[in-house]
Amino acid sequence: MSEARKEDLWKTRIDREEQPEREPGPINLQRYQRQRAFMGAHTFLKLPVCLTPEDLAAGNVDVAVLGAPVDFSSGIRGASRGPLAIRTAQNYIRAPADYINHLSVRVRPLEVLTVVDYGDAAVDHYNPDNSMEPIRELVGEVVELGIIPVVLGGDHSILWPDAGALIDVYGAENLGLIHLDAHADCGREKPGMTINHSLAIPRLIKDEGLPGKNIYQIGLRGFYPDEEMIQWMRQNGINSHFMAEIDRIGLQTVLDNVICKAQAGPEYFYVSFDIDVLDPAFAPGTGTPEPGGLLIREAFSAVRRICHELNVVGFEIVEVAPTNDSNYVTALNAHRIVIEAITGIAMRRTGIEDPNYLDPVTSGETPFPL
């Protein structure tokens, strides 16, 4: 084997033609019917795995969960462990389709949608720049089949290749970005640095042609961005909703306004959820925690609403750094955020039209049946 090939092994796929023949389709890697999330093969919700686009197509898949374990573009290690932590954070003994009955809306998302795990993208842990194209390629395989990718990060640099893959299919003018984050991620480029966790928004605008007016940010707070960057954001038409606005009029009103404006905008939406939009009490395991964030209960309903009321064609959760968490609360909450997103997509698929929908029985609107 040549030295060049050794250097490229991190992104060289296994030759499936050398493997035993099998019919294309999802593969269940679990040995037992019920087991804890940390046991057995580590797939999201113990769901079957697809390894190739042919598997996805044969399985009539609706949603594919995949990992992008990128690290170090934030200058802080730990986010590369995010995908594994999120996959194994499930609190129950295996959750089959008939087990996840979301009590707020009484929808069983895994009965409505066919969801699989599509493994992880190739990542060069010595140079994050090299990881952008393999991530974009893997997400693109999912999107090109009309399947919704749910990407587990990884730091926020992956927003560029993830959203870029959707732009390749849907077009920049037709795609909107819902960006929940403590930080604007509109950083300035530095010499020799083509990408980091705060540069994704400028790269999407400058390199991919995503209109700033198609970007909706929620939860910004702290001491960043500075005045110059706020002016850049305003000049580019970015719809930025700071925590000060949420304090003034409430999260539900902000969401009402964002969703109403978004519904009159592009046809398709990508949701990028940075775990640090949450208050650090609910997500200490992240590289750049910022006090004063969303409560976890607020975040659950917000994500579910967005994925129900908008035509969401992709979702990512980023910046989960479990090594910075002395417990597993960050991964547990991130895991549940993903379920909220999938539940919202399932609600839309079932035809529920009411905005901010809650089940009338469990919400107390009608008496509980005797």
pLDDT tens for residues 87-107? 998 766 555 555 688 999 999
What does the domain layout of the chain look like in residue ranges?
35-350
pTM: 0.92
The answer to whether residue 228 scores a pLDDT higher than 70 is yes
Percent of the chain with pLDDT over 70: 92
Three-class SS of residue 53?
Answer: helix
Question: Position 100: which residue type?
Answer: I
**In 3-state terms, what secondary structure has residue 68?**
strand
Q: Which of 319, 289, 342, 333 is nearest to 82 (CA)?
A: 319
pLDDT at 208 over 90: yes
Q: Tokens 């991190």 label which residue? A: 10
pLDDT for the residue 33: 76
- When pLDDT is averaged across residues 129-151 and rounded to a whole number, the result is 96
Q: What is the tens place of the pLDDT at every residue in 267-289?
A: 999 999 999 999 999 999 999 99
Location of structure tokens 């519904």:
263
Homologous superfamily (CATH) of 35-350 is Ureohydrolase domain (3.40.800.10)
Tell me if the bond preceding 154 is cis, omega within 30° of 0. yes
Give alpha helix (H) positions in the chain. 3-7, 53-58, 82-87, 109-112, 132-143, 159-170, 200-206, 227-235, 243-249, 251-263, 296-309, 329-350
- pLDDT surpassing 50 at residue 1: no
Decide if pLDDT at 250 tops 50.
yes
Summarize pLDDT for 306-338 with one digit per residue, the tens.
999 999 999 999 999 999 998 889 999 999 999
Do the Cβ atoms of 116 and 49 come closer than 8 Å? yes
Task: Read off the DSSP letter of residue 157.
Answer: G
Question: Do 46 and 55 form a contact (C-beta atoms < 8 A)?
Answer: no
User: What is the pLDDT averaged over residues 235-245?
Assistant: 97
Q: What is the pLDDT of residues 54-74, one digit of tens each?
A: 999 999 999 999 999 998 665
